Chains A and B, each alone.
Chain A
Amino acid sequence: MAVFILRRLSQSVVLVLVMSMLVFLGVFAIGDPINTLVAPDATEEERQAIVVHFGLDKPLYEQYGRFLGNALRGDLGRSFKFNEPALALIAQRVPATLELAFASLLLTVVLGIPLGLYAGFRPNARSSRLIMGVSAFGFSVPAFWLGLMMVMLFSVFLGWLPASGRGTTVAILGIPVSFLTWDGLKHMILPVINLAAFKLSLIIRLTRAGTQEVVMSDYVKYAKAKGLRNGRIVLVHVLKNTLIPITTVLGLEFGRTIAFAVVTETIFAWPGMGKLIIDSISVLDRPVIVAYLMLIVVMFIVINLVVDIIYSTLDPRMRLEDQR
């Protein structure tokens, strides 16, 4: 196991390197950061001074080489726009994003799996059909539309919940969190629902499909015929067989929520990382984009590593193996 994890993490070094190269190439292809950074009425002299200062006049490979050299010394560069270390900028935003991501994951699991099981066990019940219909709604609307619709309903018309922002935060070990105060929680409700909507629908559907497969399979029919209790069937067979795709999807969705919650964060003015990366992409603030995506790659590697480990505990036949 330890060897497996170590090997996987060593692969991540390569990936991080590849990612940084891709970002350099990508930003180079999109445009010249100088045009978005410099004041529109800047003189040519000012432009040139900045181009030289940021090293944008050098050939790309040289800029990349310089970046790598600094990165090896632990310096991922400073934001062009904010002149702050890119990592520090990102680190400020991490707690807010993680809080939303975990909350929406929790909501998805706590609601999605039971509802899916229910709909799977009683596929023809009216209530099951309702669950399926409503869950189709969850992924049929773009997140920004749903988000603003909820704001209109719950904040503007009913006045129950705040329209945006993070609300009161409490510091735990120096990290600000919202979920410990009532005000903070109120601010979290709508963004969390907005983030969870798609995931929830998908998990309900996956669980239902998996459950149905198992319920109709011969061995469960046989078990039923033998008079085993329903609960046992659920635990032993259904969950075991549906948890593999569910774990995979939850891992994927969790990663996506952390990395790209931009729409929800924009609509709800939530000070998370997704907004930072979108803003950085739109002004081509390369140091921030590179640092951010390098972190995200590591995060996805870790998430998928955890998912792979979960596989092997769920089903011992799925051995942990990796390139020999």
Chain B
Amino acid sequence: MRNRSSSPLALARLLAVAAILALSSSAWAQTTLKVGLATEPASLDPQFSTTGATQQASQQIFETIVGRDRFLQPAPALALSWTMVDPLTWELKLRPNVKFHDGSDFSAADVIFSIKRIPGLADSPSSYKRNVAAIKDCVELDPLTVRILLKSPSPQLALDLSFIYVVSDKTPSDATTDDFNKGKYVVGTGPFKFVEWVRGDRLVVERFAAYWGRKSSFDRVIFRPITSDPSRVAALLAGDVDMIDQVSPVDQERLRKDTRLSVLSMPAATMMYIHMDTNRDLTPFVKAKDGSALDKNPLKDPRVREALSIAINRAALCDRILGGAAVPAGQFVPEGMVGYAPDLKPDSYDAERAKKLLADAGYPNGFAMTIHGPNDRYLNDEQVTQTIGQFFARIGIEIKVQALPYSVFSTAATNLEYSIFLMGFGNTTGDSARGMTAVLATFDKATGNGANNRGRYSNAEFDRLIKESSLATDAKKRDLFLQDAARVAIGKDRGIIPLYYQTTTWALRKGFVYETRMDEYTLANYVTVAK
């Protein structure tokens, strides 16, 4: 306080003003939550795009038929139960007394309308069509019961329904994405009502008073996209926002020490791995150290792949480069997800044995290799690629590192132009089936298997296990098939080298609490003010 106001009267006046200011500002803080987010939705049409940023926005305003809990497992939401009548028929019991934001009642007609609307949305680059692909028809039995008829048995139906956001059946069938983005038809059953969206600047929602579930602690929530990591942290430190998501690993140490803040982490479902050209006899980016071509592809040899895997000190990588915001991985999904094989541990670091393995494989002096990676896609991807290079250099491989924008990188990787590269996969479905099918199953344009198999790994035994798992109606059996598949492709063959699972980190002002989630979403309804 300044010396000037030393007279008692002035001091009293000052204190009074300060008190009023403090009161009004704390009242404001209690009712408005300001969130700084790393991403921004592509659209407010909840059925337009499966991208995380879009779903995150949809989740505030809309709800899915089946819910997903914080560990991505199906949970009751708009549907209270889902039961299999026979392998091709399911029945959904819907939650009674649910209102849309416009005051109308939620009923079976809305669910059926929402499911049937999806195939018609042709413009979406990442559509929900696959989630309704197995559905032949839906029938209303009564206003709170829906019967779903399938084309083929689908043990994953509940999971698929957890991606179907319910819009009101009053939405015109010709409603466009633009209409939604302007706020028309953004009418859901979720905890918040839409207020306004200025792309690039803010998305504003307010509490829906008639929400059936737990009501939000805040009257109003403002989501602001702040894409640059340090800027987001600065916004939090400057008090512009109350909470931020995707705290960069480099900032966590300092933020954890800041008594005005709390930092929360949650293992995420994204698995980072090294993909290798394991199929071709000659590969473009592996050469002899003198630059001459090798007569064969070393990466085809499982011993070399094992050597590369154990050359990596995963613990140090997670600790040093990812600021502890990562967990070493030894398979496709972390513990707790379907398909996790308890006996598959992350390869432990052993540079000496790695050198020996290389020698056994016929490369006692190593070889020269270029490793590629993206630099704008995953958490610290560029640094991770460089560190992997460092580890490989230590077992005698002459290594070059190239980190590129994802647009360039992904095109080249898909065209099989690389030999070894860093990649990630988001296991958003809570099991390993989709990821392993996309990344490790034999590439086949017709069936769509191996769509992300950019190393062209192929093992008939693995393919068989994956197929068995997709046909198993028994959840336990399915789990075991997936576990066995992981043991073959990763444990035995090292078709890919799993590195780590990312962790998502949030930072909040002291006094705010967030119930963290594995899907990396920041859902305002789970932010509360600590008592």
Contacts and interface: CB of A to CB of B under 8 A. Distances in A.
Contact of A46 (B127, B178, B199, B426): B127
Contact of B451 (A44, A82, A284): A44
A32 interface: yes
B445 A271 contact: no
B452 A41 contact: yes
Contact of B228 (A32, A42, A266): A266
B83 interface: no
B407 A30 contact: yes
Interface stretch (A11-19, A157-165, A203-211, A293-301): A157-165
Given A41-B426, A156-B237, A53 B122 contact: yes
Contacts of B122: 53
B123 interface: yes
Given A88-B178, A162-B238, A282-B405, A82 B129 contact: no
A39 B126 contact: yes
Contact of B130 (A46, A96, A152, A282): A46
B402 interface: no
Chain B, interface residues (CB within 8 Å), range: 35 or more
A281 B407 CA distance: 8
Contacts of A275: 200, 227
Given A41-B434, A162-B238, A151 B408 contact: no
Interface in A121-161: 148, 151-152, 155-156, 159
Nearest to A151: B234
Contacts of A199: none
Interface string B162-182: 000000000000000110010
Interface string B38-54: 00001100001011000
The size class of the interface chain A forms with chain B is 35 or more
A49 B199 CA distance: 28
Nearest to B45: A83
A44 B445 contact: yes
A282 to B, nearest CB: 6
Contacts of B237: 155-156, 163
B251 interface: no
Interface string A273-289: 00110000111100000
Given A267-B231, A269-B228, A271-B200, A283 B124 contact: no
B199 A271 contact: yes
A269 B125 contact: no
A207 B531 CA distance: 62
Given A162-B240, A163-B234, A84 B228 contact: no
Contacts, number: 160
A50 B125 contact: yes
A165 B239 CA distance: 13
B314 interface: no
Given A162-B238, A163-B231, A31 B411 contact: yes
Contacts of A89: 199
A164 B407 contact: no
Given A31-B408, A41-B452, A271-B199, A165 B240 contact: yes
A272 B125 CA distance: 24
Given A35-B407, A44-B448, A282-B405, A166 B231 contact: no
A159 B444 CA distance: 58
A269 to B, nearest CB: 4
A266 B227 contact: yes
A81 B125 contact: yes
Contacts of A32: 411, 414
A93 interface: yes
Contacts of A268: 231
B438 interface: yes
A248 to B, nearest CB: 32
Given A32-B414, A165-B240, 11 more contacts: A31-B411, A36-B407, A53-B122, A82-B177, A85-B178, A96-B201, A151-B238, A163-B231, A164-B240, A271-B201, A276-B200
